[in-house]
Amino acid sequence: MSRVREKGRWIAELGLIVPLLRKEFLEAWRDRRALIMAVSFALLFPVMMAGGATFMIKKQIEETSRVAILGGERAPLLLERLRGPGLEVERLEAGEPRELLAQGYHLVLSVSEGFVERYQEFRAPQLYLYLDSSSREAGRAQRQVQERLAALQQMVVTQRLVARGVGAGLLAPWQLEVRDVSTPSSRGALLLAMVPGLLVLTLFVASLATSVDTSAGERERLSMETLLLQPLPPWQIITAKMFAVASLGWIGSVLAIGALVLLMPTMPLAELGIKQDTTPVGVLSMGLLLLPLALLVAVLQILLALRSRSFKDAQTQLSIFQIAPLLLLMALDMAQVSLTGSWQLLPLVGHQQWLKALLIGDSVSPLWALAGSAITLVLVVAAVVTGARALRRESLLSAG
């Protein structure tokens, strides 16, 4: 008999959460300020990333280094071999290298006066390369000039050996041929490495305003006290608020994923040999994987806002709180730490690995994904229990 009563009590309590969920969702989605913040950031960062990546890629591809050659009439073959994609070579009659570098030239190549005579006598004439090592463009131009001069030098050596009946292979014990085995997907991973962190940041930003308003805001408006006087279990109050806040964060992250996938074809990725392999199934998988994390972010934001002294204090604390995971993910990317296997069970770390794989079209282990999501949900339940206990304390209403 007692079991039947207990079961009936649980059913009655679950029935109370439905109108509570309706109330929290209506209040969350009626807040235009929160909606504008969520949608704006969700659409802003994909647009900025696509525009920035397009600008950087085009600049890298179309960037041309200016090279001035002094005394070029003594070595016309040098001018012919140096000219090509990426280098704009100009022959000048005279000039001071330092002044020419200040005028916009990235490199100045000076051919010594006795170049022709020393070249004909096989005495290795001098070439002087002037550059400003503090300039990034100069370093790129230097590599291009040295590579082309090295190829020309090897050709001249080979011709001289052949002219004397000596096989060029005698001076080349081996030949090194570089073969790039990277795939378009792996090259795309380098460009899209920051996307998982920004998607996680979207969860925080999109739900920030609602989480503060539904906790610290209601406490200052005294509506929290009215809600606590109702015959509602505290865990239901925290759960309803969590779902309402998480809905904004999750929808914002899904919008960001959709916008990014739609904008990727407009980026000149093919010019870098990068192929977009994100599939509709991958987009759906990313959305599902972010759902448990959205719940965890929402309940943590609510708990932190409830512990704050005022509405402004809650905004400040949550603004700092949302930067911490982004810094963590950026540090892991910069350190290039291999986080495979059981590391995927950690929230944020596992989500970063899964999102990165799905963005480039790789597969994700369903077992690891389910296990990591289950651990995230366990942390959600623990946070809800902690929040329910906090609502039972009278000091909560006087925190402001």
203-207, 239-243, 260-264, 300-304: least confident range: 260-264
Same domain, 164 and 193: no
CB atoms within 10 A of CB 28: 23
Q: Give the burial string for 336-364 (b: 16+ CB within 10 Å, else e).
A: eeeeeeebbeebbbbbbbbbbbbbbbeeb
Same domain, 250 and 322: yes
Helix (H, G, I), strand (E, B) or coil at 274: coil
Looking at the fold, whether 119 and 202 belong to one and the same domain comes out as no
Identify the H or E element spanning 30: helix 2-30
Q: Domain for residue 344, yes or no?
A: yes
Instruction: Find the mean pLDDT for residues 288-316.
Output: 88
* Same-domain pairing of 54 and 69: no
Predicted structure pTM score = 0.70
Parallel, antiparallel or unpaired: strands 127-131 and 65-70: unpaired
190 in any annotated domain? yes
Q: Cβ distance 296 to 382 under 8 Å?
A: no
| Domain shared by 306 and 200, yes or no | yes
pLDDT value of position 312:
83
User: Do 257 and 113 lie in a common domain?
Assistant: no
CA–CA gap between residue 371 and residue 373 (Å, rounded): 5
For residues 380 and 356, membership in a common domain is answered with: yes
**pLDDT > 70: what percent of the chain?**
82
Report the distance separating Cα 109 and Cα 87, nearest Å: 13
Residue 227: which domain range? 17-58+185-396
What Å distances lie between residue 342 and 323, 338, 358, CA to CA?
Answer: 25, 11, 19
β strands within 34-153, DSSP E? 65-70, 87-92, 107-111, 127-131
Say if CB 107 and CB 144 are below 8 A apart: no
Return the exposure string of 280-313: e unless at least 16 CB atoms fall within 10 Å of the residue's CB, then b.
Answer: eebbebbbebbbbbbbbbbbbbbbbbbebeebeb
User: How does pLDDT run across 99-133, given as a tens digit for each residue?
Assistant: 888 888 888 888 888 888 887 777 788 888 888 88
Q: Does residue 177 form part of some domain?
A: no
Number of domains observed in the structure of the chain:
2
Mean pLDDT of 195-213: 86
Selection from 26, 334, 325, 350 nearest residue 203 by Cα: 325
Pair (361, 212) in one structural domain: yes
Tell me whether residue 180 is in a domain. Answer: no
